[in-house]
Structure 1
């Protein structure tokens, strides 16, 4: 009896594409390990935590802008030589990202097996390149948030809690998707509460001889967040970046009001859908909650749109293989390369500051228009032998 290979040719092709990209980036890093990297702020924070020194700067809008936990989290990388540190950190992020793609492509697209992973990789790769090149946490954060929501859809609450715990370490903005998931999955709430309590206590476990130090870092963190939450620079790709293109500048109070209304509106939007297909519903919640982060976090960077890249890749394949909405699928596919527009440099960087939030608004609006009438009651196909057209 002939045994089935562990991976199909298409899966090997997908892994090969990621391997080639990673090797190219490693060669660029080897040329100058300290160029185009954000890890220097992470290293400094890790060293400061070990020395029990303050983690946060008092001035400016940049620097270490994470929970104290991240300083601990980065310690295994911080004390390595520059080249292996930069490579291993990116390998960790890319491993999570590829794992998320593999999980989603194998769980949601039986009609496309074994091609789904390759197609998904091709669609999302452009939006992932910049974060991978710079060593930013966006890549890993997008992966663990998607895995967390998918785990909620599968009613694997402990697994979901683990991924949300990691997401909070990677960036504080993960708090909104975490609370968003707890709101829409009542059975997850007790586990979510326990996760929050454990998260608060976690850094104290690594500073038992100086508990007051951790308490001080929490206070400094909240003070720092208040300082940097209203950047005056017009170089962020949120809703204000879109408005800046039309010479509209929001006051601090109006900006805060819009963010609050956006948070409420995102919750109401999720409530418009039924949960008859909890797995698909969970991915839609990922899309809505991360779109909120992109549009209403006043510090959204161009590289952050890897969140949207995952959503667009997923729904491109979903509309093509499941809903048979080829026009919508191809529209998403055509828009996907624009998520890497900043790689062209110069004018295209400024263009991305308003174009990317505009694409995000358009994509989420189209998702609502196409899916709200169905109310997610259409089950995913179960016949893996029938392939959709055009594939």
Structure 2
């Protein structure tokens, strides 16, 4: 592969778009194959019929806030074909436009190359989540927009993206806490976003029913963070140790998550002070996405799609600034190859669960370290050469 401007000005972006069009074709061909959308449909159907949304005892199935069930109803009514298509387009569109906004924020020359090469590197890790229609894609785009809106102090945008992120997945609360720490004056808007999301279901069902669902919902969230004995097998930082036959005790894992959370908070606050505004958004979101993937107790292999695109853009930015080099090639290759470990059943069985937390940790840690070396006196050069 020759990383030249004429090739990657267009190749990566059109591969990103083309792969998604293939996904849409597969959705039309068979809406239920390799898809988690049936879980969202089941949640909305249960809500409309007044049935319980959650299976607290097994902590599986529908794991989203009641507001998700309400807002997915229009897609449910559109049927498994059109509804699925629109759902896939929503997540893909939000994530893609978030990446485009980030590239414009980075500025400098060769922005088309930066976006295209970054999406190319992220595609293999992201493709399975795109294919499955997972809410992680929507969560990633919403949290990314929230990060940028927070740093710019945009109240209305912060409220909107915080609301959408919480609806997409409850784990978005991590990003809201970071946003509140970064810009304390936005805390009222972030709190309002959470309250609005909590209030939405009450407009569509009886108070007793919604109260019962929230009771189960919060029990479910608690059980997922402390119960390691259920059928779910996490792909977080504990997975490599489990694969080696040395499972980490849950108490120790909780301590590690808390320490990592405090370290992430300290890191993003330092980034906000050290980095130029054009860099800080990408650096902060990369650090937050890394934490939400590696240290979140409810991580699946496809959850790593959340860190793929910001990592891809960060590698492209590093490449633009350094003009290639061994480190750039190593990071680019590792991120790209990580997504290829499931193309064959034997490879999937070999690398399943344990490999991604290791490879993504290497990529993200190096990029986080590189961002740390940048400061306001070392802003990205506008005319750097993007090939090697």
Q: Quick one: distance in 2 between partners of 1:214 and 1:234? A: 26
Deviation at 1:376, TM superposition (A): 5.3
Q: 1:15 to 1:319 in 2, by over 3 A?
A: closer
Which is worse superposed, 144-153 or 104-113? 104-113
The answer on 1:211 being equivalent to 2:207 is yes
> Is residue 282 from structure 1 mapped to residue 278 from structure 2 by the alignment?
no
Contact between 2:118 and 2:316, CA under 8 Å: does it hold in 1? Answer: yes
Gaps of 5+ in 1: 1-7
State which drifts further: 198-207 or 236-245: 198-207
User: How does 1:193-212 map onto structure 2 within 5 Å?
Assistant: 193-207=191-205, 210-212=206-208
The 1-side partners of 2:8 and 2:317 are apart by 18
Q: Kindly indicate whether residue 385 of structure 2 is the aligned counterpart of residue 388 of structure 1.
A: yes
Deviations 1:65-98 (A, max 9, x none): 0111110121111123322222222122111122
**Is 1:227 aligned with 2:226?**
no
Corresponding residue for residue 188 of structure 2: 190
Q: How far apart, CA to CA, are the structure 2 residues paired with 1:65 and 1:238?
A: 18
| Matched pairs, number | 379
Q: Please state whether the residue corresponding to 1:116 is helix, strand or coil.
A: helix
1:371 paired residue number: 371
- Cross-structure match for 2:329: 330
Contact 1:237–1:357 at 8 Å: present in 2 too?
yes
Equivalent residue number for residue 38 of structure 2: 40
CA distance in 2, matches of 1:118, 1:319: 14
Q: Is the 8 A contact 1:130 1:343 kept in 2?
A: no
Structure-to-structure mapping, 1:119-158, within 5 angstroms: 119-158=117-156
Aligned to 1:317: 316
Please report how far the alpha carbon of residue 315 of structure 1 lies from its aligned counterpart in structure 2 after TM superposition: 1.1
SS of the residue 1:346 aligns to: helix
Q: Which aligned pairs between 1:1-391 and structure 2 lie closer than 5 A?
A: 16-207=14-205, 210-229=206-225, 230-232=227-229, 235-273=233-271, 274-322=273-321, 326-340=325-339, 341-375=341-375, 377-381=377-381, 383=382, 386-390=383-387
Q: Does the Cα contact within 8 Å between 2:159 and 2:193 map onto a contact in 1?
A: yes
Which 10-residue stretch deviates more, 174-183 or 57-66? 57-66
Contact 2:56 2:220 in 1 (8 A): yes
Distance in 1 between residues matched to 2:219 and 2:71, nearest whole Å: 22
Offset of residue 375 of structure 1: 4.0
Name the CA distance, whole Å, in 2 between partners of 1:180 and 1:201.
23
- How far off its partner does 1:219 sit? 0.9
What is the TM-score normalised by the length of structure 2? 0.89
Provide the secondary structure at the position in 2 that maps to 1:111: coil
Tell me the CA shift for residue 324 of structure 1: 5.4
CA root-mean-square deviation:
2.5
Q: Deviations over 1:27-58 (max 9, x none)?
A: 32333221111111111110121222221124
Query: Is the CA contact (8 Å cut-off) linking 2:56 and 2:219 kept in structure 1?
Result: no
Q: Distance in 2 between matches of 1:235 and 1:202?
A: 32
Unpaired runs of 5+ residues, structure 2, are 1-5
- Quote the Cα distance in structure 1 between the aligned partners of 2:72 and 2:309: 25
The farther-off stretch of 300-309 and 290-299 is 290-299
Q: 1: distance between equivalents of 2:37 and 2:111?
A: 38
Contact kept? 1:52, 1:213, Cα under 8 Å: yes
Shift of 1:9: 11
| 1:4 corresponding residue in structure 2 | none
Give the Å deviation of 1:166: 0.5
CA contact (8 A) 2:31 2:84 kept: yes
Q: Structure 1's 58 and 236: CA in aligned 2 closer, same or farther, altered over 3 A?
A: closer
Cα deviation per residue 1:351-390 (whole Å; 9 max; x = unaligned)? 1412211123223332343232434553344x4xx35141
> 1:103, 1:53 → 2: CA distance?
41
CA deviation map 1:115-164 (0-9, x unaligned)? 33322321221122101111111111111111111222222232122112
Residues 22 and 224 (structure 1 numbering): CA distance in 2 closer, same or farther, change over 3 Å? same
Q: Distance in 2 between matches of 1:180 and 1:245?
A: 32
